[in-house]
């Protein structure tokens, strides 16, 4: 609902506190770097939840010992209270692949026709085993084929505990809307690796992230304006078997977006963001780094007919190095990007068609590079370019829903040399050239529905293979199905994933020992084979 879920580390955002039944829609905001700041080069995924006062419970059971329960309740009108919680666990499809999740959220609020206030507290705990890779030596050992579900790391595991506090308020005064978002997140992670090459390795990280963001929006006639301020303070500490480190982040930003509709059907947008950043690594002997970063965006959308429009946009964005990256390299520079996009959008009867071409040029892109100092490090890469096209289509005709999308992406190095290899023109690892999805839904009645989905991805270069000398990471395709039956307050769903039991890996990494080539050993992380999940939901209204 407009609040960032990313924290200042390399871990993925925690989404388990968001009850699936409460999600109203998911918006893809393209080019949101002016309002959202660092890390929004490709855009923003905004999850909008319903203001739901219902009471419901969902039971979950599936393959590999998967089971769980989700509970939610909301009451009130002007004064509201919402409680959500869930407990889930799975043994996983591999050795030491277990997971345990406990999460809960409480939200209290008050609103009238013009004002809304809310206070939110969320807690997320996760425990999981790390099954590690399956090793492959061309012409020799191949654990991916002979023992894909085994593990060589039976002791490796991790724990995560995150608490999030949020205060939100907004009020409408005529054509003016004032809002304030404030949040604090405390994240604590523990990781243990039983065979680290030099013995066991234990790592504990604590991150505290504080943000305050007042903003304002005004709309009047042909012009609308939005702007605000963002303050952020972040502190991270890392204590491990071989020592420890700390990092700090302080940012202060101002942003402004303007929209202009000079004539009906024409929409112009422009925005600018300036952010002053100070990052430090106390105890590293490296002085604090201060930067002033800028993001901007220009856009035009023109309605050609009532159902057909064209648009174009160009912008500049940035991403700050996070605490994990700074812990290993305190001199990292922020990455910057320049992007341009041209697209068309058409609605014909029940169909929606969208096509776009884009290009993103990145400078100082931050990534892990294995050829640095013998062990690898996070560095600023040589310039890269990501360009391609997207095509999506969906149609609704009676009981049928059909949709398809296809993405072509050419990601290459514009220049550079790594490990003695000239990588100019080489493909960026782990970026497939082609990805696509096809989905078909059919409603037998108001109570029964079936949905089929096909996901496919082309081959890509493995991690560590900037020189494009080693074997490819194979492409893959999977088919999923979902059957849903509704009877009064009950809803039963049966989900089948990877129905063909396709054996594939979405991540692979090449060993940098010896000369890089097609005989180089590599490691694969197998994805789950055929699996099933059943859910039963009972909703009180």
Q: Is pLDDT above 80 for 8? A: no
Q: How confident is the model at residue 192 (pLDDT cuts 50, 70, 90)?
A: very high
User: 77 pLDDT exceeds 90?
Assistant: no
Cβ atoms of 37 and 276 closer than 8 Å: no
Percent of the chain surpassing pLDDT 90:
67
Q: For residue 284, what pLDDT band results from cuts at 50, 70 and 90? A: confident
- Report how far residue 254's alpha carbon sits from residue 270's, in angstroms, rounded to the nearest whole number: 15
Provide mean pLDDT across the span 191-198. Answer: 80
Please, what is the average pLDDT of the chain?
Answer: 90
Confidence label for 102 from pLDDT (cuts 50, 70 and 90): very high
The pLDDT of residue 374 is 58
Please determine, for residue 76, whether its predicted confidence score (pLDDT) is greater than 90: no
Cβ atoms of 31 and 299 within 8 Å: the answer is: yes
Q: What is the mean pLDDT of residues 486-493?
A: 94
Rounded mean pLDDT, 470-480: 97
9 band by pLDDT with thresholds 50, 70 and 90: confident
State the pLDDT confidence band at 17, using cuts at 50, 70 and 90. low
pLDDT category at 418 given cuts 50, 70, 90 is confident
State residue 325 phi and psi, 5-degree precision.
Answer: -70, -40
pLDDT score of 349: 81
- Residue 373 pLDDT: 62
Report residue 541's pLDDT band, with 50, 70 and 90 as the boundaries: low
Q: Where are the alpha helices (DSSP H) in 138-240?
A: 143-146
CA neighbor of 170 nearest in space, from 98, 221, 228, 87: 228
Quick one: pLDDT at residue 429?
92
Asked which of 410-419, 430-439, 441-450 is least confident by mean pLDDT, the reply is 410-419
Which pLDDT score, from 0 to 100, does residue 247 have? Answer: 83
Residue 204 clears pLDDT 80, i.e. is over it: yes
Categorize the per-residue pLDDT at 328 as very low, low, confident or very high, splitting at 50, 70 and 90: low
Structure tokens belonging to residue 198: 């030099």
Q: For the residues 78-96, what does the mean pLDDT come to?
A: 93
The helix (H) or strand (E) run that includes residue 323 is helix 323-328
- Structure pTM? 0.88
Task: Report pLDDT digits (tens) over 172-181.
Answer: 998 999 999 9
C-beta of residue 514 within 8 angstroms of C-beta of residue 495:
no
CA atoms of 405 and 354, how far apart (whole Å): 9
Residue 119's nearest CA partner among 108, 127, 130, 129 is 108
Helical (H) or strand (E) element with 33: helix 33-36
Which of 321-330, 376-385, 448-457 shows the highest mean pLDDT?
Answer: 448-457
Q: How confident is the model at residue 323 (pLDDT cuts 50, 70, 90)?
A: confident
Answer yes or no: is pLDDT of 197 > 70.
no
Comparing CA positions, the residue from 536, 370, 534 lying closest to residue 463 is 370
- Please write the tens of the pLDDT for every residue from 330-377: 778 889 999 999 999 999 888 999 999 999 999 998 887 766 665 667
Beta strands in 306-457 (DSSP E): 308-319, 335-348, 351-363, 366-369, 377-380, 384-397, 400-413, 417-418, 421-422, 434-443, 448-457
Q: Give the rounded distance of the alpha carbon of 154 from its chain centre.
A: 28
pLDDT for position 372: 64
């Amino acid at each position: 609902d407009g609040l960032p879920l990313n924290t200042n580390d390399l871990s993925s955002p925690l989404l388990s506190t968001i009850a699936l039944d409460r999600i109203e829609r998911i918006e893809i905001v393209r080019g949101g770097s002016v309002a959202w700041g660092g890390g929004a080069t490709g855009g923003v995924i905004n999850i909008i939840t319903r203001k739901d006062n219902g009471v419901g419970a969902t039971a979950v059971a599936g393959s590999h010992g998967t089971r769980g329960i989700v509970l939610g309740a909301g009451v009130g009108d002007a004064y509201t209270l919402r409680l959500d919680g869930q407990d889930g666990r799975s043994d996983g499809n591999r050795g030491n692949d277990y997971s345990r999740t406990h999460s809960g959220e409480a939200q209290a609020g008050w609103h009238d026709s013009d004002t809304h206030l809310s206070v939110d507290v969320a807690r997320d705990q996760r425990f999981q085993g790390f099954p590690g890779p399956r090793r492959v030596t061309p012409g020799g050992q191949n654990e991916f084929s002979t023992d894909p579900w085994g593990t060589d790391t039976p002791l490796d595991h991790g724990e995560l505990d995150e608490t999030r506090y949020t205060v939100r308020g907004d009020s409408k005064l005529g054509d003016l809307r004032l809002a304030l978002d404030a949040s604090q997140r405390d994240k604590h992670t523990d990781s243990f690796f039983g065979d680290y090459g030099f013995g066991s390795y234990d790592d504990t990280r604590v991150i505290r992230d504080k943000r305050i963001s007042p903003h304002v929006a005004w709309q009047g006639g042909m012009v609308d304006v939005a702007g605000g301020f963002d303050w952020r303070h972040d502190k991270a500490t890392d204590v491990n078997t071989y020592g420890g480190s700390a990092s700090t982040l302080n940012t202060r930003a101002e942003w402004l977006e303007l929209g202009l509709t000079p004539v009906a059907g024409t929409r112009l947008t422009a925005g600018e963001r300036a952010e002053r950043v100070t990052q430090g690594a106390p105890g590293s002997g490296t002085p604090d780094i201060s930067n002033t970063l800028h993001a901007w965006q220009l856009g035009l959308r023109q309605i050609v007919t009532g159902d057909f429009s064209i648009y174009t946009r160009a912008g500049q964005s940035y991403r700050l190095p996070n605490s994990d990256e700074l812990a290993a390299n305190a001199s990292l520079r922020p990455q910057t990007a320049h992007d341009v996009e041209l697209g068309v959008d058409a609605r014909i009867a029940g169909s929606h068609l969208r096509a776009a071409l884009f290009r993103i040029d990145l400078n100082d892109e931050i990534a892990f590079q294995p050829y640095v100092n013998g062990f690898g490090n996070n560095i600023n890469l040589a310039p890269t370019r990501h360009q391609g096209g997207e095509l999506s289509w969906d149609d609704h005709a009676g009981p049928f829903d059909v949709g398809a999308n296809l993405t072509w992406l050419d990601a290459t190095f514009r220049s550079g040399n790594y490990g003695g290899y000239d990588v100019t023109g080489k493909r960026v690892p782990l970026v497939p050239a082609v990805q696509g999805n096809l989905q078909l839904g059919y409603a037998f009645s108001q109570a029964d529905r079936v949905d089929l989905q096909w996901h496919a991805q082309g081959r890509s270069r493995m991690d560590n293979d900037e020189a494009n000398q080693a074997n490819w990471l194979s492409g893959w395709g999977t088919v999923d199905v979902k059957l849903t039956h509704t009877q009064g307050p009950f809803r039963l769903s049966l989900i089948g994933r990877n129905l063909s039991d396709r054996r594939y890996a979405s991540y692979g990494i090449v060993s940098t020992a010896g000369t890089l080539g097609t005989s180089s050993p590599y490691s694969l992380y197998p994805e789950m084979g055929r699996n099933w999940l059943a859910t039963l939901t009972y909703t009180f209204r």
